[in-house]
């Protein structure tokens, strides 16, 4: 196997400050075993991680969770990110963003807030998150606008809300959003547990894209709409995290450094912890970050495929989850012999009643699904 080329610096440092969250989203991207992972880095460790990331060349800093506003030191962390010259981005459910807290974060130098909604209707938003948060989120949207931050909304799409696409876009427009991210669900973590409930049909997706394009034509630059395409329906793999270890450096709440937030599930791979290693060493030299860099690790059909530089073989976690081999081609790709598993999941989701009720992301379910993890 030839050596992966030495990468450039990470552009994004994603600080997952905590897995704690007051919401219980059925598509949550946090690990299913989060209840076994209570350890969180302290303030000084996060400040050091920020300094090391900036010295390494990172320019964007995402502050996410769980719900990052649950960290009482968020203002301190934001202030250090600002002092270091990062463009900082808070990814939040909105719970905890009072007028006072928003003003404090603004004063600390926070550049950008991305607010998530689960749907355009109170009923579905509150059902999917298992909390009464729709009205609160609408108030938080006003607080964000009043602080002069760009209005950026995020809605995860799936079968239970994709039929509301017209209303979702209209809601974002009425709120004065400058950017709307419509992110089709990626089936890892809690979304994989609930996949039979969440996978939309081809027809639903086509309709959603048509409605999105009509709004784009109408609004032009006044509101930019990102439609993050799904991979299950297209027969094509997506370039996951823009390439393993090429742009994103994620630090999990306990300090584990990861090329993407779900990579820890992959067996046989060690990911270093920032408590014991510097970010420079982690980024350039660790086995975990080098394992799937570039194309040298590929096996067939990726190794000789004309697409290999474009999609880098797709997602390693999806390859492991669906094909049982993290070095396989992503089963979303029609060239993978395991692609029938993806097609079957789409077919079954349209035809069959799911085998179990929706599983909400909470500590009891986390313990039940990962006993003794």
Give the binding range for ligand SF4 (CB under 6 A) out of 23-31, 42-50, 79-87, 250-258. 23-31
Q: The tokens of 214 are what?
A: 């009509």
CB closer to ligand SF4 out of 18 and 286: 18
- Full DSSP string of 81-104: HHHHT-EEEEEE-STT--HHHHHH
Site string for ligand SF4, 351-370 (x = CB under 6 A): ----------x---------
> How would you class 198 by CB atoms within 10 Å of its CB: exposed for 0-12, middle for 13-18, buried for 19 or more?
buried
In the list 307, 343, 365, 370, the residue contacting ligand SF4 (rule: CB under 6 A) is: 307
Dist. CA 53–CA 45, nearest whole Å: 12
**Closest to ligand SF4 by CB, 94 or 272:** 94
- The answer to the question of residue 30 lying near ligand SF4 (CB under 6 A) is yes
How would you classify residue 312: left for phi > 0, otherwise alpha for psi between -120 and 50, otherwise beta?
left
Q: Is there a binding annotation on residue 28?
A: yes
Q: SS3 of 281, please?
A: helix
Q: Does 317 bind ligand SF4 (CB under 6 A)?
A: no
Looking at the Cβ atoms of 290 and 318, the one nearer to ligand SF4 is 318
Task: Kindly state whether residue 66 participates in binding ligand SF4, applying the rule CB under 6 A.
Answer: yes
Q: Pick between residue 76 and residue 307 the one whose CB is nearest to ligand SF4.
A: 307
305 binds ligand SF4 (CB under 6 A): yes
- Across the chain, the runs of DSSP E, i.e. the strands, are 12-16, 60-64, 87-92, 112-117, 151-157, 179-184, 224-228, 248-251, 257-258
Longest distance between any two alpha carbons in the chain, whole Å: 57
By CB under 6 A, how many residues form the interface with ligand SF4?
25
92-104 burial, b if ≥16 CB within 10 A, otherwise e?
bbbbbbeeeebee
Nearer to ligand SF4, 186 or 286 (CB): 186
Residue ranges that bind ligand SF4, judged by CB under 6 A: 21, 23-25, 28, 30, 65-67, 93, 129, 237, 301-302, 305, 307-308, 311, 313-314, 329-330, 333, 335, 361
Q: Known binding site for [4Fe-4S] cluster: residues?
A: 21, 25, 28
């Amino acid at each position: 196997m030839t050596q992966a080329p030495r990468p450039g610096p990470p552009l994004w440092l994603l600080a997952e400050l905590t897995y704690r969250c007051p919401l219980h989203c059925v598509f949550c991207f946090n690990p299913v075993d989060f209840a076994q992972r209570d350890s969180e880095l302290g303030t000084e460790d996060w400040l050091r991680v920020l300094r090391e990331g900036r010295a390494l060349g990172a320019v964007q800093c995402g502050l996410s969770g769980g719900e990052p506003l649950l960290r009482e030191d968020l203002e301190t962390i934001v202030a250090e990110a600002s002092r270091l010259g990062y463009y900082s981005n808070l990814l939040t459910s909105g719970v905890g963003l009072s007028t006072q807290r928003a003003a404090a974060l603004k004063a600390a130098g926070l550049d950008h807030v991305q607010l998530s909604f689960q749907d355009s209707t109170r009923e579905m938003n509150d059902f999917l998150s298992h909390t009464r948060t729709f009205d609160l989120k609408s108030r938080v949207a006003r607080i964000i606008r009043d602080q002069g931050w760009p209005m950026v909304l995020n809605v995860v799409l799936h079968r239970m809300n994709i039929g509301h696409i017209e209303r979702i876009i209209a809601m974002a427009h009425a709120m004065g959003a400058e950017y709307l991210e419509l992110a089709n669900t990626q089936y890892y973590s809690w979304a994989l547990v609930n996949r039979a409930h969440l996978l939309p049909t081809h027809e639903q997706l086509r309709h959603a894209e048509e409605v999105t394009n009509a709004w784009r034509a109408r609004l032009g630059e006044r509101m930019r709409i990102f439609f993050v395409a799904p991979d299950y329906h297209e027969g094509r793999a997506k370039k996951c995290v823009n390439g393993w270890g090429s742009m994103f450096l994620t630090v999990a709440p306990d300090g584990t450094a990861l090329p993407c937030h779900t990579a820890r599930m992959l067996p046989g791979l060690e990911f270093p912890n920032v408590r014991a290693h510097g970010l420079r060493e982690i980024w350039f030299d660790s086995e975990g970050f080098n394992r799937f860099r570039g194309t040298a690790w590929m096996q067939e059909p990726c190794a000789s495929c004309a697409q290999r530089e474009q999609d880098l073989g797709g997602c390693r976690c999806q390859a492991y989850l669906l094909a049982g081999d993290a070095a396989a081609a992503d089963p979303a790709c029609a060239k993978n012999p395991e692609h029938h598993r993806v097609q079957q999941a789409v077919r079954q989701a349209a035809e069959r009643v799911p085998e179990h009720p929706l599983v909400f992301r909470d500590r009891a379910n986390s313990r039940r699904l990962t006993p003794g993890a």
